[in-house]
Structure 1
C-alpha cells in the first residue's frame, strides 16, 4: 500500500500549519490535525469519542476491539440486518458505518467499548503525555493485551497523530504475522488429526478393558457377598470355637473387595481424563479445520489469478481474452501507482481506455463522481480504498446504471483474473450486474 489509511504527521522543523517555505496552510479535515481552538479546546482534556476519530481508524477498532458475537447483538438494533443469517462481514461493515455516522448507533458502540475495557482505560488515564501513552501501549502489546490497550490509546486525550499512527502500524503488521502463521497451523492440524485418531483408539481400548474389569468386579462382589452370607449362616450354626476363624476369613474377603474397588476407581479416573483430553483435541481440530478452509479458499483465489496471468503472457491468448475491451472505458478506483501503470498498458493494448482515480489520497473525491458517468465498467481493489470512497462509488454507479466490481487486491493478477472471468461469462463489454458484495467490508 503506497499511502497509509491515515494522514501523515508534519515534517520536523516546520511550524504548525505551515509548509517548509513558511507559508500558512489551510487546515481542514480531521479534528486531530486542526488547531485546538473553540470547541476543540474544550475537548482537549477528555477522551475522544468514536465518531470523532478519523474514519480510516474505525475498521481496525471494530475488527480488533469487539467480537462478532457482541456485534451481532448490538448492530441489528440500528441497522436492518438479519441477526441469524447475516454474515460476519456484513455485521462488521454495518458496525463500521455506525461508527462513522455517530448518532445512537455510534454512541452504543462507544459505550460497549468503554464498559468492556474500563480497567485498561483507567490505567491509561495516569499517562500525562504522549510518551507515557506510547509506553503503556508497548507494555500491553508485549503482554498480548492488544484490544483493550488499542481502544484506550486511540481515545486518550494525550494521543497525538504520531502515537495513533504508531499503534495502527503495529496492529497492521500483527495481522500479517497471523496470516503467515496459518501454514504452521495446517501442519499442526495434520499432526493433531493423527494424534486424535490414536487417542480415540486408545480410549476405546481403555473403555473396553474397564467394562470387562467392571463386569468381573461386579461378578466377584456378588460371589463374595454370597460367600459371606453362607459363612455368616454357617457361623451361627457352628460352635463358638470356630467364630474367630470365620470372622478372620470375612475380614480378608472384605479387604480384597476394597482393594478391587480402589483399582477400579483409579482406572475410572484415567478414563475420564482421557475423554476430557479427547474433547479438547476435537475442539482444537475443529478450529484448525475452519482456518484451513479459509486458507484453501484464499489459495484458490490466488491460483485463479496466477492462471490468468499465465494466459496473459501468451500473446494469442491475450488478444482473444481481452478483445471485448476494445472501445470500452474502464474506471479504476484506488490501487497502487506501480500496478496501475501495468493495468493501463493492458487495457490500452486491448484497445480500451482506462481512467484511474486513487480514491481521495491525491485526487479530489469530487472528481470521482464526475469520472463514473459514461463508464462501461468500474473496478476497485478492496485492500486499497477507504470506506467513504467505496460507499460513494457504489451509490453513483447504481444511480447511473454502471456495473462495478470489487477486486481481491490491487495487484495486476487480480485485475487480469477479473478480465478472464468477464471473458468467460461473455459480458466483458456489456452491462454486467453490479455486485453488492465487498470482499473486505461486506
Structure 2
C-alpha cells in the first residue's frame, strides 16, 4: 500500500472517539517534530513487531506489505495529527517518556555527552526520542545528534553489503566443501567394496591352501614306507604319475603362497589408504565446523536487534541427510536457536511428527530427502496448526542457512 493510499485511511473519522495523547512534560507531539527526525525515530524506536500491531489495529496492514511499506506508511502519517500518529506518539511516550523527562532537564553539553555514551552502548533509542520531541535543544545540538544517527545508518548499510558479499563467498566455499565430502564418501565406499572383495579372495585362497595341504598329507600317508630309511631316494614314490601330481601340487602351493603374500601387501596398502581417508574426513569435518562457526558468529543478535526475542526459536528439520544431523545442530544452536530433528519416516503414523511440528517456530522440509507423502503430511500439518513450512530444494547447509538467516539476521541488520 503506497503513502497516498494510506493518507485517507489515517485521517480522523468524525464517528470515532478521539484518543488522548500521553505527552510528557513540555514536549512536542510527534507530528510537530522536525521532519528529518521522523524517519529515524520510526526505524530505530519502533520494532517491526510493534509496527505490525499498530497498522493491524487500524486496518492499515495489507498482506503484501513488507518492512519498507510499513515504514513508509508510519512516516507518512506523522505529517499531521491523526489516529495513527496519536497511537505512535502514545507508544513512544510509554516506552521512553520517563527517560526523556530526565534528559529534558540537561543542558546541550550534558545532553550530547549522555547521547555519546548511549551511542557507544547501543541503547540510543530514548536519547533519539528525547532529541526529536524536546522543545529546548539548540539547533546545533539537534544537528550533531542527527549527524551521528545519519552516519550510523550509512555505516550499517555498508556493513550489510560487506556481510552479504562475505556470506555469498562462504556459501560458495561451503558448496565446494560439500562436493568434496560427497567425493570422499564415494571414494570411501569404493575402497570399502574393494577391501571386502580382497578379503573374500583371501579367504578363498586360504581355504584352497588348506585343502591342498590336506591332500598333500593324504598323499604322504598313501606312500609306502621305504625299505631303506636312510636313503633319500627311497622316500620318493616310484610311480611317475604320482611324481607328476606331487610336482603339480607343489607348484600350486608355491603359487598360492605368492598370491597370499601379494594380497597381504595389497591389504596393507588398502589399510593405509583407508587411514588416510579417515584423516581427510576428519579434516573436512573440522573445516566445515570452522566455516559454520565463522558464518554464525557474524549473525549473532544482541539486545539492540529488533528481532532479539526471536533468536531462541525452535527450528524443526524434517528429513534431510541423517549423517549431517550434527552439522545441522551446530549451525542452528551456534545461532542461538533450538534444534529439533525428525527423519521424515511416517510408516508408523505421523503423531510424533505432529507433536514436533506443533512446538516448532520454524519448519524446514527438503524435498530431495523426503517422500511425496512425507512432504504432503508436513504441508497439511503446517496448515492445520498455522505453522509456516519452508520447502527446500535440497538438504545442504547453505540451503538451510539461507532460510534461517534470510528471515532473522538480514531483517535484524536492515532494521
TM-score (norm 1): 0.35
TM-score (norm 2): 0.37
